[in-house]
Amino acid sequence: MVLVLKSALNLPIGDARRLKMLIGFVLCVSLCTSEVKSQSSRAISGTISGKPFEAMTKPTEANEKDTPGSFYEVLRKALKKRKTKIENICPLSDSVARRILEDYGAMFLANKKVMTPPVCIFVNEAQVTKFQEEADYVTETIAGADVELQREAMKALLKAREEAQKEGLDITPRDGAEAARRSYEDSLQLWGTRFLPALDYWLSQGRLTEDQVDHLKNLPLHSQIAAVLELENSGIYFSKDLSKSILYSIAAPGTSQHIAMLAFDVNEFDNPRVREILAKHGWFQTVLSDLPHFTFLGLKEKDLPRNGLKSVEVDGQTFWIPNVVDPPH
C-alpha cells in the first residue's frame, strides 16, 4: 500500500488520468481490506460454538441489576413496612429460629397483599388458629381436593391453572388437601414421619445408642429440633432418604409455609412449562431440594434478586432462597 502511494506522488503533474486511476485503486484496496477485517472480526467475536455472542453474555448493567440484594437488609425494610422487625418474628440469638428464617424466610418477602406470619415458629395450635383466621383464606376444590390458601395466593394459583389447562397441562395438589393449608398438629405429625424412622435407622447402624435415642425422643420439642440439626452436622441426617437436612424434606413443627397458607405442593412440578406458568403468576420454589413445594410471593421473577433472593439450581430446577451475605445485628 505504501509503495502504491509513493508511485502516485511521483507522477508528472499533468498526467491526471493515471493519478486518478491509482487513487481509485488505493481506495479500493483500503476499503476491501477493511471489510475483510471487519467480517473476520465479527466471525470471531460474534459466534462461539455456533451461538451468538450476545446470547451467551449479558450486559454489565443487567448483571448488576441481577446481583441479589442482602436478604437481611431487604427483610428489615419489608418488616418495617409491616410495622414489625426481625427480632419480633425471629430472635436471631436462637439458633433454631435463625436457621428456620434463613431456610424458609422467602415467604416474609411476599407482596403486601398477603399476610405473613407474626413469628417464624408457632409453638401451639392456638397460635396457628388465630393467625389463620386473621389471614383471610379461601377454599377451592381442585382435582377433587379442598385446597385452602390465602385469598391472593389462591387467585394467582387459579389463574396459573387456567393458563396451564389452555395448553393441555394442569396444576393439581399433591397428596390432596395436605398440599396447601396445614394445622400445627399436621406439622407435628409430619415431623414424626421423618424423625422416628431416622432414629431407628441410625440406631441400627450403630451411629446412635439406645440411651441417645430415648433422650432425643423425650426432649422438649424446641430442644429436639436443635439436637436434630446439630446431629446433621456430623452426617446423621433425618430427611426421608437420610441424605440431607430434615428441613429440606419436611418443616419443623410450627414453621411450615403451609401453616402460613402461602405454599402449595404441585403434582406436575417436574414439567418445566408448568414451573414457568407458576412463576409468571408469582409462585416459586423456595425451599431447597423440596421439588413439589411452591411458595406464593406475588412478585415477578426479574424482581426476586433485588428482593434479597438468589437462584440456586438443584436437580435441574431453580430455587429462590434467601441471599444471606451479611451477619445479622
pLDDT at 6: 42
The lowest-confidence range among 2-6, 78-82, 290-294, 308-312 is: 2-6
Element (H, E) at 273: helix 272-280
In sign, the C-alpha dihedral spanning 86, 89, 93, 95 is negative
| Dihedral sign for Cα atoms in the order 227, 228, 229, 235 | positive
Report residue 139 as a C-alpha cell. 377454599
Tell me the DSSP string of 2-33: HHHHHHHHTS-TT-HHHHHHHHHHHHHHHHHH
What is the pLDDT of the chain when averaged over all its residues? 85
Instruction: Please state, in angstroms and rounded to a whole number, the distance separating the CA atoms of residues 56 and 77.
Output: 35
* Reported confidence tier of residue 65, pLDDT bands at 50, 70, 90: low
Angle between the 221-232 and 184-204 helix axes, to the nearest 10 degrees? 50
Q: Would the pLDDT of 301 be above 90?
A: yes
Q: Which residue has the higher pLDDT, 172 or 325?
A: 172
Strand partners, 293: 265
Share of the chain above pLDDT 90, in %: 76
Grid cell, residue 272, equals: 418445566
Closest CA to 148 of 125, 121, 171, 179: 179
Q: What confidence tier does 81 reach under pLDDT thresholds 50, 70, 90?
A: very high
Distance CA 148, CA 234 (A): 38
> With 90 as the cut, is the pLDDT of residue 84 above it?
yes
Is the Cβ–Cβ distance between 191 and 185 less than 8 Å?
A: no
What mean pLDDT is predicted for residues 14-30? Answer: 44
Percent of the chain topping pLDDT 70: 79
Question: First vs last Cα of the chain: how many Å apart?
Answer: 70
Q: Binning pLDDT at 50, 70 and 90, where does residue 302 land?
A: very high
Does pLDDT of 12 surpass 80?
no
**Mapping DSSP to helix (H, G, I), strand (E, B) and coil, where does residue 93 land?**
coil
Per DSSP bridges, beta strands 309-314 and 317-322 are antiparallel
